[in-house]
Amino acid sequence: MIETINLTKSYGSFTALNELNIEVKKGSVYGLVGQNGAGKSTTFQILSTLMVPTSGTAIVDGVDVVKNPAEVRRRIGYMPDFFGVYDQFRTSEYLDFYGGSYGLTVTERKQVIPKLLELVNLSHKANDYVDVLSRGMKQRLCLARCLIHDPSVLILDEPASGLDPRARIEMREILKELKSMDKTIIISSHILPELAEMCDQIGVVDHGKLVANGSVMEIHDKLQQQKMIQVHAFDRHEDVFSFFKEDNDVTTIRMEADGSIEFGYKGSDYQQQKLLKRAVLADLPLLGFNQIETDLEDIFMDITKEVESK
């Protein structure tokens, strides 16, 4: 339904998207998660035909975005991360305007607009001016706008950004409803747990590269195969850092502002206790050495944070 093959986008010498390969099955919800600047909007703009890739291919609903952009546009609803709403319109007029732009007849628009307003919980605001709507309402109106021509694919760039928790939940419920209507949805966020709840598959993108891909459970399991260990030292933090960094089973390592050190470790429990023993014998001023529990948010931070990879 949506497929990218080695999708790459460079701005001059800077590579914003680096050989991205993702696949979104029909009727599923795929979450693209990454920190600011990871390449999410770039991906979505290519999928929405607003930007051409430097190399690689993107197929949406069976159509190549570069070869046949007009056909792709008919099949998608795109919600950008920043959007303007025409404030001088009333809510229903706004949707009517977009319906007209998509070639819907007056009769079709009269049928579809009340249904869309109901879907996004804005029926009671149909006659209000757009500029008096709250941010969450504007986001929902923008979502309704994406749906006016009944697209099979929705490309939603951070639809919940800037919303308070209640508005986020409301947005999530609407997306669930859209999923039940068999829409294929790709959605981005920089908050992993938020996506985890509603997505079938998650892709984690970092510096333009896909660093993890799979179901929420798969990502969790894959990244749990290594333990996270935290070390506190009384002083000589740099020495402690260097000592652990040298170990072959230490995968990534970073030092926090308070001097504590966290590292990914792929060795067995036996090797772990040997490592601790060697650290003590090396006379390092250790205060603590313990395995830390990781949740989804930690995992995300761990794979996208500036870490020193080995």
Ligand X SMILES: Nc1ncnc2c1ncn2[C@@H]1O[C@H](COP(=O)(O)OP(=O)(O)OP(=O)(O)O)[C@@H](O)[C@H]1O
CB of 14 to ligand X, least distance (A): 6
The encoded tokens of residue 242 equal: 């260097």
- Could you say which of 36, 127, 180, 309 contacts ligand X (CB under 6 A)? 36
Count of residues in contact with ligand X, rule CB under 6 A: 13
CB of 43 to ligand X, least distance (A): 7
CB of 205 to ligand X, least distance (A): 7
The encoded tokens of residue 53 equal: 């890739």
CB of 8 to ligand X, least distance (A): 12
Q: Considering only residues 9 through 28, tell me which ones interact with ligand X, judged by CB under 6 A.
A: 11, 14, 16
Give yes or no for a contact between 90 and 127, defined as CB atoms under 8 angstroms apart: yes
- Could you say which of 41, 48, 213, 294 contacts ligand X (CB under 6 A)? 41
How far is the C-alpha of 42 from the C-alpha of 44, rounded, in Å?
5
Within 8 A by CB and 6+ apart from 212, the residues are 202, 203, 204, 219, 222, 223, 303
Which residue number, 206 or 262, has a Cβ lying nearer to ligand X?
206
Any idea which residue has 């935290």 for tokens? 230
- Could you say which of 31, 39, 80, 136 contacts ligand X (CB under 6 A)? 39
Sign of CA dihedral 145, 147, 151, 155: positive
- Could you say which of 21, 25, 37, 88 contacts ligand X (CB under 6 A)? 37
CB of 183 to ligand X, least distance (A): 22
The encoded tokens of residue 270 equal: 């036996």
Nearest to 262, CA basis, from 223, 234, 288, 224: 288
Which residue number, 17 or 76, has a Cβ lying nearer to ligand X?
17
What is the layout of strands, in order, in the sheet containing 2-11?
Answer: 14-24, 2-11, 55-60, 63-64
- 47 near ligand X, rule: CB under 6 A: no
**Among the residue ranges 32-40, 144-152, 196-204, 234-242, the one whose residues contact ligand X (CB under 6 A):** 32-40
- 222 near ligand X, rule: CB under 6 A: no
**Binding mask 73-112 vs ligand X (x if CB under 6 A, - otherwise)?**
--------x-------------------------------
**Helix, strand, or coil (residue 268):** coil
In Å, how far are 32, 131, 211 from 193, measured between CA atoms? 12, 31, 17
- 191 near ligand X, rule: CB under 6 A: no
CB of 9 to ligand X, least distance (A): 8
Give yes or no for a contact between 176 and 106, defined as CB atoms under 8 angstroms apart: no
- 48 near ligand X, rule: CB under 6 A: no
How far is the C-alpha of 119 from the C-alpha of 167, rounded, in Å?
14
Angle, alpha carbons 106-112-113 (nearest 5°)? 85
Which residue number, 14 or 270, has a Cβ lying nearer to ligand X?
14
CB of 208 to ligand X, least distance (A): 7
- 51 near ligand X, rule: CB under 6 A: no
Give yes or no for a contact between 143 and 156, defined as CB atoms under 8 angstroms apart: yes
Residues that bind ligand X (CB under 6 A): 11, 14, 16, 34, 36-42, 81, 190
